[in-house]
Structure 1
C-alpha cells in the first residue's frame, strides 16, 4: 500500500489493482475513508471530522496529482 503523503497523521494512499471511480484512501488510526478524486465526495468509510477536513483539503489541492497517480497505478481503468 503506497502512501502518497502523510498529512498530520492522515495517510493518503492510492492502490494498484483498483476499481472505479478513481479515488484515494485516507487512513487515520482504525478509520479509513475513500474519497472520489474528481468530485471530492466520500465513496465509503468514515474519518473523525478533523482528519476528514485534512483529507478533503489535500484532495482539493492535489486533484491532478492524485488522478495522475491513480491512472499510472491502474492503467486498465483509463
Structure 2
C-alpha cells in the first residue's frame, strides 16, 4: 500500500485495485480511518479530533490529485506523491 503523503505523524495511503467508492486510508499512531474522496466522509474507523480536522483540510486542498492517484492505483500504477499539509 503506497504512502502518498505524510504530515504531523499522519500517513495517507491507497491500495492498488481497491474497491469503490474512491477513498484513501489514514494511519495516525494506533488510529486508522478511511475517507471518501468525493465527499470527504469518514467511511470507517476514527481519528482524534485534531488529526481528523487536518486530514479534512489536506484532502479538500488535494481532491483532484487524490482522484488522479485513485485512478492510477485502479490501473495498478504507482500513485504520485501529494504535498503534505503545512
Give TM-score scaled by structure 1 length: 0.91
Please report the RMSD computed on the Cα atoms of aligned residues, expressed in angstroms: 1.3
The alignment covers a number of residue pairs equal to 76
Structure having the higher helix fraction is 1
Q: With a CA cutoff of 8 Å and minimum separation of 6, indicate the structure with the bigger relative contact order.
A: 2
**Conserved 8 A contact 1:40-1:56:** yes
Q: Greater strand share, 1 or 2? A: 1
Unaligned 5+ segments in structure 2 are 77-86
Q: How does 1:1-78 map to 2 (within 5 A)?
A: 1-75=1-75
Distance in 1 between residues matched to 2:10 and 2:34, nearest whole Å: 13
Query: How many angstroms apart in 2 are the aligned matches of 1:39 and 1:17?
Result: 20
1:32 and 1:62 map into 2 onto residues whose CA distance is: 20
CA contact (8 A) 1:7 1:54 kept: no
TM-score (norm 2): 0.83
